[in-house]
């Protein structure tokens, strides 16, 4: 069995990882690439009041079931399918889906702490860091949490100052220089990200997919 090629994608909250991933995945067919996301490995916390949710710090490595995260990546590398319940961001009205993640030649691992988790970082063949100026990232976070998740401006600002920004500087910035590519994403121009993802996907296609020997 040929080992899958593992691509790690990280960046702070509001860096544009979600849009980057969407563009990146569009360059591949479903059988060429699979995605495993750190967001689906939060430890369950149960129901919370609004104030408890505000105080709880989700931006710490300890909130992630890193052991299961690592096990599932190894399963994909061994050619096994992973079944994982979707994380619904503590939304009591959301019904979580069961995710079926099938192994593929290219395995994308994404999340805030993938470089901080040593066992995961050691599995990454290509490390990508999405870099954004902090004031731009905060604007994007405000837009997402105010309009898409229904949080108040006060709650978003509190979390940014007390949780998000400190975590970014402690658990992401120290590993930025270890990455193979740093992608600056300060604009709101989709064409810029589409171009970058196409260039990287072309490199991967030549390196992994076209170079992969065919087996029966």
Q: Is residue 215 part of a domain?
A: no
Q: Is residue 214 part of a domain?
A: no
Q: Is residue 73 part of a domain?
A: yes
* Cβ contact 7:106 at 8 Å: yes
Q: Kindly report, residue by residue over 172-186, the tens digit of the pLDDT.
A: 999 999 999 999 999
- Which residues of the chain fall short of a pLDDT of 70? 1-2, 89-93, 148-150, 212-216
Q: Is residue 85 part of a domain?
A: yes
Q: Kindly report, residue by residue over 116-128, the tens digit of the pLDDT.
A: 999 999 999 999 9
Q: Is residue 167 part of a domain?
A: yes
Domains contained in the chain, number: 1
Q: Kindly report, residue by residue over 76-92, the tens digit of the pLDDT.
A: 999 999 999 887 766 66
Rounded CA separation 111/12 (Å): 9
Strands 82-85 and 98-101: antiparallel
Among residues 203, 21, 200, 12, the alpha carbon closest in space to that of 109 is found at 21
Q: Check which CATH number belongs to the domain holding 60 and give it.
A: 3.40.50.300
| Confidence at residue 149, expressed as pLDDT on a 0 to 100 scale | 67
The residue range of the domain holding 188 is 5-209
pTM for the structure as a whole: 0.90
């Amino acid at each position: 069995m040929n080992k899958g090629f593992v691509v790690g994608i990280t960046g702070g909250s509001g860096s544009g990882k979600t849009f980057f991933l969407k563009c990146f995945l569009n360059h591949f067919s479903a059988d060429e690439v699979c995605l495993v996301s750190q967001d689906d490995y939060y430890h369950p916390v149960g129901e919370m009041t609004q104030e408890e949710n505000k105080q709880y710090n989700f931006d710490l490595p300890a909130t992630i079931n890193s052991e299961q995260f690592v096990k599932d990546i190894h399963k994909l590398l061994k050619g096994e399918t992973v079944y994982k319940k979707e994380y619904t961001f503590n939304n009591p009205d959301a019904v979580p889906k069961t995710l079926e993640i099938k192994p593929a030649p290219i395995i994308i691992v994404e999340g805030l702490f993938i470089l901080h988790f040593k066992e995961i970082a050691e599995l990454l063949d290509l490390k990508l860091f999405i870099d954004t100026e902090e004031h731009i990232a905060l604007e994007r976070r405000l837009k997402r949490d105010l309009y898409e998740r229904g949080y108040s401006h006060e709650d978003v600002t509190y979390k940014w100052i007390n949780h998000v920004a400190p975590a970014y500087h402690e658990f992401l910035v120290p590993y930025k220089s270890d990455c193979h590519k740093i992608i600056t994403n300060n604009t709101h121009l989709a064409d810029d990200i589409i171009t970058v993802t196409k260039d990287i996907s072309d490199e991967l296609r030549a390196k992994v997919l076209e170079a992969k020997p065919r087996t029966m």
